[in-house]
Structure formats: structure tokens, C-alpha cells
A and B are shown apart, each in its own frame.
Chain A
Amino acid sequence: MTEIIIKLKNLNWLFIFLISFLSFVGLVMIYSATFGEESKIFISHIYKVTFGFILMILISLIDVEFWKKNAYLLYFLGLVLLLWVTFYGHLGKGARRWINFYGFNFQPSEIMKIFLVISLAKFFDEKKFQESRDYFFLILPIFLVTIPFFLVLIQPDLGTAMLILFVSVVIFFVSGINWKFFAFSGFLTVVVTPYLWGGLKEYQKQRILTLFNPENDPLGSGYHIIQSQIAIGSGGTFGKGWTKGTQSHLDFLPEKHTDFIFSMLGEEFGFFGTLSVIGLICLITYITYHITSSFVHNNFNRIVGYGVITNFFFASFINMSMVIGILPIVGLPLPLVSYGGSSMLTYFFGFGIILSMDRRSN
């Protein structure tokens, strides 16, 4: 028991506060989004945030070695879930993403992101032939990445799939793989992309295309981007006030409690609000960097740290970029703020591991 208390004492409570604060912003926004409508969503979100917070603390108490030891097993577990969801998953919004688990909808693709990071970290930690000119050793990690990537892509969940790929590339990068590998993969991507494009669903193509000219078809797929920009822009410096957003409350803004929650924040709290959230995300990222870079010669910790924070940071900024119109609408929630249990739990999970690493280094 005292052991646990010591462990708790050693946790980075500033970090925990920042993460909780970001979740609190999410709660505030979801209250506004569902204000006067379905209060169920707000209550459900409170449960999820509480559960996520407890999960984070629990995981922070588990030593990092546990994850290192069971990395491949967890990866295999995730893969099974992902395969299962591919065939028997719960259909929603035209995609097969969810497993219905005793009334809770759960997305295996989310948890897979963490397990993939852990297994890649384990792989690059054990096999230090980064300098080797023999590239065949990379076949295994490439498979580790591509299998879940394609499984998620065909669900279809373009956003998560791209994020998995992107985070993996970053992991390869910070693991010190030779530049030539990236040059070669880049070339391969250019060759393969046309085939991939052909495999995309029509609505996914449309989403990417509208990015380039949203005003072209204001009531079609560009409508969401325009309405989102109007919401954010009309917020001005300090916003229209909490629950006073007209764009969001009169339903001009789509998906206001999930993917477009940042637009609503921009409308109701203005530049002040959006800047605060960006600041919070950057601060969390900076602290994680600070923790991660302190591990010398510990490749596993480093890679997990960079992987988790890259996942969090890019998911956040891709979400923000898409609602302000600099990236296509790919369907990614804003980490810890948007409504959506699975993705939130994944981020709490990831931060739990970082807290655990930090605790151990103290």
C-alpha cells in the first residue's frame, strides 16, 4: 500500500493537471454542444473522462517493463480485435469500426495505435542494427505497420489509417533509420498512391478534393468547411460566449460535439479560446519531450515517448487544420476534447505510460 502511495507521490502532477484541464475544456464544450438537446451525451462524457483519468493513473503505476515484455502479445491481441471488427463490427455512418461490448461501443483501431507504438519501440530497442546496410531487418516492422494500416483503411477510416502510418514513419525516423530508406519509401508511395486513390470510396475522394476549393460547391462537401470557418471567424477575439454560438446551436456546424468541436470553441471563446487550447497542447507536448529526451540509451522509452506524443500532437493539429480549412476533412476527433470514448481512452492510456516512465526516472 505504501508502495502505491510512494508511486503516486512521484507522479508528475503538473502534467496530470494539464491533461485534466484539456479534458475539462472538452467537458465545457460538450456541455455547450448538447445544451438543451441530449444531455445523455454530456453525462456519458463525464463517465468516460472519469474512467479515462482513473485508467491513466492505474497505468502510470505499472512499470514500463511490463509493456516492453508483453508488447508483441498486445499487438497480436489488437490485431485479432481489428480483424474481428473488420468482419463482424458494428456498422455506423457507413463504416465498420465499432465493437459493441456490453453496450459500450469500442474502436479497436484506437487501442491498436498504442500497441503498435509499443511493439515498434520493442523491435527497435532490441535490434540495434540501424547502422547496418542490410535493410531486410526492416521487413518485420513494415509488416507490423502495414497490416493494421490496411485493416483500418478498409473500415474505412481514412483519418486513423493515415495517423497510424504517419506516427509509424515518425517512429522509424526517430529510431535513426538511414535517410535512404525514407527516400526509397517516399518513391514507393508516389508509385503506389494512384492505386490507393483508386481504392478510396467516392466520399473520401470528394473530401480530399473539396479542400482545394471549398467555395466551389457550398452546399455539397465544401459546405462543412465553409460553415466551420464562418463559425471560427465570427468568434473574433473573445467569442460569442459560452452556449451562445449561433453557428453551432442553429446547426450550421456539423458534428459539433465530435470532429468540429474546435470550431465551436473558436466561435464561443474566440481567438483567446483557440489560442489557449493550442497553448495547452503545446505545453503537454513540450513536457513529454522534456521527459523523453532525458532517457539516454533507452531506446524503448524514447520511442514510446515520441510515438505517444506524436500521435497526440498530430491528431490535435490535423483536427484543427481540417476545421480551419488547411487540411481535408478526414474524420479525426480532437484528442481529449471531442466526444468519443475509444480515442480518449487511448490518449489517457498513452499518457499513463509516459507518467510511469517519468516516475521511474525520478
Chain B
Amino acid sequence: MTDIPREEYILKCTSACAGCSDSLTLRYVLKAAGPDTVLVVPACCTSVIQGIYPNTAMNIPVYNVAFAAAAACASGMSAAFQSAGRKTNVIVYAGDGGTVDIGIQALSGAFERGTDFLYICYDNEAYGNTGMQRSGSTPAGARTTTTPAGKGQTKKDLDAIVAAHNPPYMATACASYPKDLFAKVQKALSIRGPKFIHVLSPCPPGWRYSSERSVEMGKLAVRSGMWILYEREYGKVTISGPSKAAMIKPVPLEEYLEPQGRFKGISPEARALLRSVAERNAQRLKKEEEGIC
């Protein structure tokens, strides 16, 4: 693997919250992508953290676009670059709301059409930009401002939806593992066609934990099996190192839930739901990796 470059494409003094792992994700994504890159950003936290016109904290072109429109906008951009013979990377950088909910139609269309682009969903498991309302990606039991008693439903299986489009490359990542994230973005951008990376993005104000613990929260998510790092390259699944280790010797789920205010007072039923979803995901991925599904 090449070293992570020193160049920065997201500059200091963004308006991100303290401890925001979205900024960290963005930092490594852009280091991997390099300067010949356009970011397409629908309404999400990243719309805000760039700063306010006429200034921007981003050192690459960023095309901000309406909530549901990112993947379609990127389709047009990718086609235009292709028409002009330009090799510029087109990356959608969208939150979970803009991906699993309002943006999923455009996402599905772009993947079905074989659009040459990379779609990155940074997932903080709620509508963060508007102050933490539930999204389809909010896990069971998590309290948000629209699920004050905890969400009754499980997290939407976005990866299964994307996988159903048979993209040449998809992966999960977390900025707590920056080298893994960096390598996955680089690999994705080396492949033609629609690529997808789903990044868990711990959120101090939304998940209600202390802001210096973001990297730790990402690691606990992986070690507890709540977030599984893997790649699916031309259909072949490879579980990434940290998750392989976690599958052998996971930390108890409680270690992940306990520091998060959003899970305070979680019911035994919701806790069981979280556990069963995590186990089902692990079993499925292990079988896929072994090629027995």
C-alpha cells in the first residue's frame, strides 16, 4: 500500500462539531482520491462543514446538490467527463438520510445503469444535520428526537440493497481504521463502474458520548461486531482484518452501548434485536466469504 499523502484537501477551521468523524472520513477519502476529484454532496452534515459562501474549507471542487439528487447528478457529471475524455474522479459523499431514505431511488438508478463513480455513504445513523431525527439507518433501540422512546425497527440493510445491483466493488469502512479506509477508497477508484463504500461515522452530539471518544467508538463498533469491515470485489467477499479478529474474540455489546446516551435505558427486546442483527450479518458475511451461499 502506498503511504497516505501529506496533502490536505479539507482545510482547517471547518464548522464541524468537535470530534466529528465525518471530517476524519472526508480527510482520508480525499487523500486517497487526490486533487483530480469532484465531490458531489447532497444535503447532509458535509453541506455545512465546508463553511459559508464565499469561503470554502474544501480544496477540491465540491458540487452541492439537492437532497435526493446526488447519485443522478454524479451520473451526469460522469457522463460529461467521459464525453470530454477526462479521467476526473466523481465521488458522491452523502449521509445516511440522503442514501438509505430520500436518495435511494437515484442511487439504485445510477448503480443499475453502471455509472462510473464512487458513492460513499457516511453513516451516523440519523439525520444529523437537522438535529438527530431517526433515519432508515438508525439502529433498533436508539433514541433520536423523533424516536424519544428508542427506535422500534432495525437498521435498513443498505449493503444488501446495493449488493443486489452487483457492483464491481463495495466495501464498509470506518475512519477509526484510516489505513483500511484509505486503501478501500484507492482500490474503488481504480475500478471502472459503480463503486460503493459504507462508512460508519460516530457522532458525538447525536450518539451522546464525549467528543474525544469518536475513534474509540468506531473501534468498539467493529470489535463488538456491530459494524463489520469487509470488501465485496466482483461478488467475492473478504472480511477485513479488524473484523476477522472481532469475530474470533468480540468485545461484549455492552461496551459499545454503554458510553452512548442514545442507548440509555434500552429495552432488553431492543438489545436482543441489535444482537441478532449483528449475528445475522456476521454469519451471512462469513458464509459469503467461504463461498457457501
Partners in one complex: no
What is A's interface to B at a CB cutoff of 8 Å? none
Q: Give B residues with C-beta under 8 Å from A.
A: none
